[in-house]
């Protein structure tokens, strides 16, 4: 018996499945680590389901958020009706209480958001393939990559307490001056003005990891932005192989999986496909894209980004263009094409419906972009890199801050390097204050949104730092000031000053 690491477990199950005795395993759609014995899997799901039923007695509209036990925290998230995700994290002795539930739920939310971006909703997959195999293989192809990504950033159990000044699922914007903003707009207009087989429906422009502009609605933008940051930006694409190796990789992929025939479109419309008898050997039957697989995006010689994570076409000559599902705007499937020049990444979405069957519109588009827009894009990159204030552009001396606007899902924060200078005490205090506010906000959500929530809190920690929170409606500001001599009045004044200068005075107290 090898020791199975159960410090982090993630489980997704569908309470509407496996109703009869002996069918319980059918509920399980995903379990991490997958080597866990079925008894352990069923035990977790049994507990989850039991508690959900129990809490529904008292709180029918908001069943279970968290179960906290001596050794573990079970964080619940219900992304779709009857579909539940449970994240189990083992507590470490030294840290005792786990941080914010919301921060952990945000991980689950992000995972689900990205999943639906690439595969559509879990429910739709289950409807298309009632046996659940497709949904299982998609989850299996996606989540382990996601988990390893989240885990490598930091140990998961520490994540929440160190992310007090970060907000998962929000977008960090690049500050533009007026004329640059106009130029960006004109480039975007140019890209979207082309008709024909390769019409661009939406664009998302990033400079490094900051969003420059997007035409997507906030939720979709946040998902795509998250993905771009994870895999598409210059810092995230594969550097080891470079563009020249694509052919080699393609041929390797070709030879290793000769019978790769299905493309992403088959997966998402997999209802018609005969489902394999055993889900464990589905890889040999049809290809499930792994959008988060590491080192799978390269920059081609012409500046376009390519990947074979979605497989290669029937001829084995070119990679299949990735597709994404937009949830908020149109429920439509779009082809994703990305172009990169130095620090500038342009993500373009083309409606699949507007493409001729079996025709990949992307090379038409490629030519168009290269011919008509590359100069403009290059010029824009120049301009942006001049305007960019460096990694500490958002730094405000004396303050460590996070400002979130939940309406547009935009956040602005002190640079990570500066946040790291805070003492552990301040971070833990901030985390504590934030989790209290999370609960208080939850209360407001429930009791109707008749009046916007408003709150001002200043806390002086044991080590003389000040943690300040200002909330007005959907705007939230978190500040940590580590200047020991400050009094409450001076702190309030400093907050006021910050709010006026950096938050458009949204939190002004008059």
Partner 1 sequence: MSTSESNEAQTTISNPEDMSLSYEPLFDATEEDNGPCYLPSYSSEKVEVDSLSSTSEGVSSDGSDALSEEGVLEDRQFSEKEDSEISGDKGNSELQESFDELISGDLHSEEGETAQQRVEGVDRSILIETSSISDKYPETSEIQVESAAENGNAEVHNSYQGHESGRGGVNAIEGLATAIGGNGVLKPDIGQNEDRLKDNCVQGKQHQYEDDNSTAWRKHKKHFFIFSHAGKPIYSRYGDEHKLAGFTATLQAIMSFVNNSGDSIKYIRSGHHQVVFMVKGPIYLVSISSTDEPLRALRRQLDLLHGQLLLILTKSLEKCFLKNAKFDLGSLLGGTQNVFSSLIHSFSWNFASFLCSYTCLRLPHTARQAVGAALQDIADKDILFALVLSDSKVTNIVGADKASLHPTDIFLLSNFVSSSESLRTTESFLPVCLPKYNAMAFLYAYIYYLDKDTCLILITKNADAFFHLKDCKSKVESFLTESHVLHDISNSVARGGLRIDDLPGGDVLYGSLPVSRVMGDAKESHSISSIKQRTGVGGAAGLWHFIYRSAYLNQYIASEFLSPLETPQAQKRLFRAYQSLYVSIHGAPTGPHQMKYRRDENFVLLAWSTADFEFLAAFDPLAEKSSAITVCNRICQWVRDLENELFFLGANPFNW
Q: How far is the CB of 101 from partner 1 (least distance, A)?
A: 7
In 193-320, which residue ranges form alpha helices assigned H by DSSP?
Answer: 218-227, 246-256, 264-268, 282-285
Tell me, what DSSP letter sits at residue 24? Answer: G
Looking at 461, 477, 482, 507, which residue binds partner 1 (CB under 8 A)?
461
Binding mask 80-119 for partner 1 (x = CB under 8 A): ----------------xx---x------------------
Scanning 46-54, 166-174, 201-209, 255-263 for contacts with partner 1 by CB under 8 A, the matching segment is: 46-54
Q: Is 57 in the site for partner 1 (CB under 8 A)?
A: yes
Q: How far is the CB of 60 from partner 1 (least distance, A)?
A: 9
Scanning 238-246, 255-263, 384-392, 461-469 for contacts with partner 1 by CB under 8 A, the matching segment is: 461-469
The first and second tokens of residue 138, run together, are: 């998609």
Scanning 67-75, 141-149, 305-313, 352-360 for contacts with partner 1 by CB under 8 A, the matching segment is: 67-75
Distance from C-alpha of 9 to C-alpha of 31, rounded to nearest angstrom: 7
Footprint of partner 1 on residues 478-497 (CB under 8 A)? Answer: 488-489, 492
Looking at 55, 180, 279, 329, which residue binds partner 1 (CB under 8 A)?
55
Question: For the CA atoms of the chain, what is the radius of gyration?
Answer: 24
Site size for partner 1, by CB under 8 A? Answer: 52
Q: Is 460 in the site for partner 1 (CB under 8 A)?
A: yes
Angle between helix axes 424-446 and 101-119 (nearest 10 degrees) is 70
Q: Quick count: other Cβ atoms within 10 Å of Cβ 471?
A: 21
The first and second tokens of residue 93, run together, are: 């002795």
Looking at 34, 46, 131, 269, which residue binds partner 1 (CB under 8 A)?
46
Footprint of partner 1 on residues 419-448 (CB under 8 A)? Answer: 424-425, 428-429, 432-433, 436, 439-440, 442-443, 446
Q: Which CB atom, from 369 or from 437, has the smaller least distance to partner 1?
A: 437
Q: Is 65 in the site for partner 1 (CB under 8 A)?
A: yes
Q: Which helix (H) or strand (E) holds 156?
A: helix 156-162
Q: Which CB atom, from 50 or from 196, has the smaller least distance to partner 1?
A: 50
Residue 487 CA, chain-centre distance (Å), reads 39
DSSP-based three-state secondary structure for 229: helix
Footprint of partner 1 on residues 380-399 (CB under 8 A)? Answer: none
Q: Which helix (H) or strand (E) holds 39?
A: helix 38-58
Q: How far is the CB of 51 from partner 1 (least distance, A)?
A: 6
CB 28 within 8 A of CB 45: yes
Distance from C-alpha of 226 to C-alpha of 114, rounded to nearest angstrom: 8
Residue 133 CA, chain-centre distance (Å), reads 24
Q: Which CB atom, from 373 or from 459, has the smaller least distance to partner 1?
A: 459
Q: Which CB atom, from 127 or from 440, has the smaller least distance to partner 1?
A: 440
DSSP-based three-state secondary structure for 247: helix
Looking at 16, 38, 50, 239, which residue binds partner 1 (CB under 8 A)?
50
Q: How far is the CB of 84 from partner 1 (least distance, A)?
A: 12
Q: Which CB atom, from 130 or from 452, has the smaller least distance to partner 1?
A: 452
Q: Which CB atom, from 129 or from 491, has the smaller least distance to partner 1?
A: 491
Q: How far is the CB of 484 from partner 1 (least distance, A)?
A: 11
Q: Which CB atom, from 110 or from 425, has the smaller least distance to partner 1?
A: 425
Binding mask 5-44 for partner 1 (x = CB under 8 A): --------------------------------------x-
CB 472 within 8 A of CB 452: yes
The torsion angles phi and psi of 213, rounded to 5 degrees, stand at -165, 150
CB 326 within 8 A of CB 222: no
Scanning 102-110, 363-371, 384-392, 451-459 for contacts with partner 1 by CB under 8 A, the matching segment is: 451-459
Q: Quick count: other Cβ atoms within 10 Å of Cβ 236?
A: 17
The C-alpha angle with vertex 12 and arms to 6 and 15, in degrees rounded to 5, equals 130
Looking at 4, 16, 25, 71, which residue binds partner 1 (CB under 8 A)?
71
Q: How far is the CB of 384 from partner 1 (least distance, A)?
A: 41
Angle between helix axes 101-119 and 133-153 (nearest 10 degrees) is 130
Q: Which CB atom, from 55 or from 474, has the smaller least distance to partner 1?
A: 55
Closest CA to 461 of 428, 434, 413: 428
The residue written with tokens 């930091």 in the block is 154
Closest CA to 337 of 433, 428, 228: 228
Looking at 2, 20, 61, 240, which residue binds partner 1 (CB under 8 A)?
61
CB 118 within 8 A of CB 86: no
CB 230 within 8 A of CB 210: no
Q: Is 70 in the site for partner 1 (CB under 8 A)?
A: yes
The first and second tokens of residue 105, run together, are: 């739920």
Q: Is 3 in the site for partner 1 (CB under 8 A)?
A: no
CB 491 within 8 A of CB 481: yes
Q: Which CB atom, from 62 or from 127, has the smaller least distance to partner 1?
A: 62
Which residues of this chain interact with partner 1, rule CB under 8 A?
43, 46-47, 50-51, 54-55, 57-59, 61-72, 96-97, 101, 424-425, 428-429, 432-433, 436, 439-440, 442-443, 446, 451, 454-464, 488-489, 492
């Amino acid at each position: 018996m090898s020791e199975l690491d159960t410090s982090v477990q993630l489980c997704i199950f569908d309470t509407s499945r496996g109703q009869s005795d002996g069918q319980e395993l059918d509920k399980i759609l995903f379990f991490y680590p997958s080597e866990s014995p079925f008894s352990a899997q069923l035990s977790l799901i049994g507990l989850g389901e039991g508690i959900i039923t129990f809490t529904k007695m008292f709180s029918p509209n908001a069943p279970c958020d968290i179960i906290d036990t001596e050794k573990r925290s079970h964080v619940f998230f219900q992304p779709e009706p009857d579909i539940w995700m449970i994240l189990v994290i083992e507590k470490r002795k030294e840290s005792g209480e786990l941080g914010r539930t919301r921060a952990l739920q945000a991980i689950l939310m992000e995972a689900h958001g990205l999943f639906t971006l690439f595969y559509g909703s879990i429910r739709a997959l289950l409807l298309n393939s009632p046996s659940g195999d497709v949904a299982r293989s998609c989850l299996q192809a996606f989540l382990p990559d996601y988990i390893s990504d989240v885990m490598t950033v930091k140990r998961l159990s520490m994540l929440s307490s160190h992310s007090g000044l970060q907000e998962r699922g929000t977008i960090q914007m690049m500050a533009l001056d007026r004329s640059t903003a106009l130029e960006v707009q004109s480039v975007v207009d140019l890209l979207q003005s082309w008709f024909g087989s390769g019409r661009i429906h939406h664009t998302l422009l990033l400079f490094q990891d900051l969003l420059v502009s997007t035409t997507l609605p906030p939720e979709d933008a946040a998902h795509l932005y998250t993905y771009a940051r994870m895999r598409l930006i210059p810092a995230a694409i594969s550097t080891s192989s470079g563009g020249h190796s694509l052919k080699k990789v393609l041929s390797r992929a070709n030879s290793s999986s000769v019978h790769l025939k299905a493309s992403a479109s088959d997966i998402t419309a997999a209802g018609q496909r005969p489902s394999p008898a055993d889900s464990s050997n589905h890889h040999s039957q049809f290809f499930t894209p792994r959008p988060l697989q590491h080192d799978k995006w390269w920059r081609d010689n012409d500046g376009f980004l390519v990947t074979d994570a979605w497989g290669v076409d029937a001829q084995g000559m070119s990679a299949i263009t990735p597709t994404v599902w937009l949830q908020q705007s149109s429920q439509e499937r779009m082809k994703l094409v990305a172009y990169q020049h130095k620090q500038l990444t342009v993500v373009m979405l083309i409606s699949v419906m507007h493409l001729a069957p079996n025709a990949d519109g992307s090379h038409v588009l490629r030519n168009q972009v290269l011919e008509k827009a590359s100069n403009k894009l290059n010029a824009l990159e120049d301009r942006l890199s001049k305007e960019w204030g460096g990694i500490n552009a958002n730094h405000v001396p004396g303050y460590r801050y996070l400002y979130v606007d939940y309406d547009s899902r935009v956040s602005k924060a002190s640079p990570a390097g500066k946040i790291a200078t805070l003492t552990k005490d301040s971070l833990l205090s901030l985390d504590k204050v934030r989790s209290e506010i999370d609960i208080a906000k939850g209360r407001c959500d429930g009791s109707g949104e008749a009046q916007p929530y408003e709150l001002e809190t200043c806390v002086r920690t044991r080590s003389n730092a000040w943690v300040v929170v200002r909330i007005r409606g959907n705007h939230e500001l978190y500040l940590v000031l580590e200047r020991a001599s400050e009094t409450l009045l001076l702190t309030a004044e400093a907050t006021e000053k910050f709010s006026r200068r950096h938050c458009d005075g949204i939190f002004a107290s008059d």
